[in-house]
A = this chain, B = another copy of it.
């Protein structure tokens, strides 16, 4: 797959196609087959990660999912993250902060939701809301926002130093695609629960959100925790891209099966010759 990392410096989202499938030659059916084909190695890699908990390794992965309403965060959870053994996955969906959360630093609730070693943590929205909706709605002033970008970079750098791969993905859809998806939610009574009249008020702020994303990505697109902008109009490509990024992240950890910290021959003898259960 072609790299989805924007180059360092200013980001122009309008120059990144939303309905492309960069680096993948096939169409939907081939893309779905390619996703399914990743399953076994993803499962193997995730089990190695989980196994390494027992060695005191700090290795873990944090997948951060950001994107406009209807960009498909839920679909990624189902179809890409769903390929991994749920035993080793910890998903957190961040909503508007609670009263308790509001009384703390914006990273407080994030810290509490970080995956422990051995786990793949997934954030459905994240600390980036504090520089996205907060910027768009004017809930934070310019100085505060600048401070937050820096705090986020420090926070993520520390995470990476602690053994956590930080995989930040923006699901990039077009305004037209969002319109079609909102229409679908209105047309299908089984999807009405996903619709909220406030969604249109947010949609009205589309240009402001795009700018907020561009600035946030530019400011936090670090070498240790880079952003990936994932074309997401094609659901199958979005899922394939995220699963591929997850697999690459796990491969990059070069995880070996932990060696036994006991004498295998002794234990075999104990089990067979001294079996305590008669």
Contacts and interface: CB of A to CB of B under 8 A. Distances in A.
B86 A192 contact: no
Interface stretch (A228-236, A244-252, A255-263): A255-263
Nearest to A275: B179
A197 to B, nearest CB: 5
A270 interface: yes
Contact of A54 (B51, B179, B193): B193
A189 B77 contact: no
A195 B259 CA distance: 11
A259 B192 contact: yes
A190 B256 CA distance: 9
Contact of A74 (B87, B186, B195): B87
A175 interface: yes
Given A200-B271, A206-B276, A264 B82 contact: no
**Assembly stoichiometry (copies):** 2
Interface in A28-87: 51-52, 54-55, 74, 77-78, 81-82, 85-87
Contacts of A206: 276-277
A217 interface: no
A74 B86 CA distance: 9
Contacts of A182: 271
Interface of A: 51-52, 54-55, 74, 77-78, 81-82, 85-87, 89-91, 93, 124, 175, 179, 182-183, 186, 189-190, 192-197, 200, 203-204, 206-207, 257-260, 262, 264, 267-268, 270-272, 275-277
Given A51-B194, A86-B86, A87-B93, 7 more contacts: A78-B85, A78-B86, A175-B277, A183-B271, A192-B258, A200-B271, A200-B276
7 contacts: A78-B86, A86-B89, A87-B91, A183-B271, A186-B271, A193-B258, A195-B267
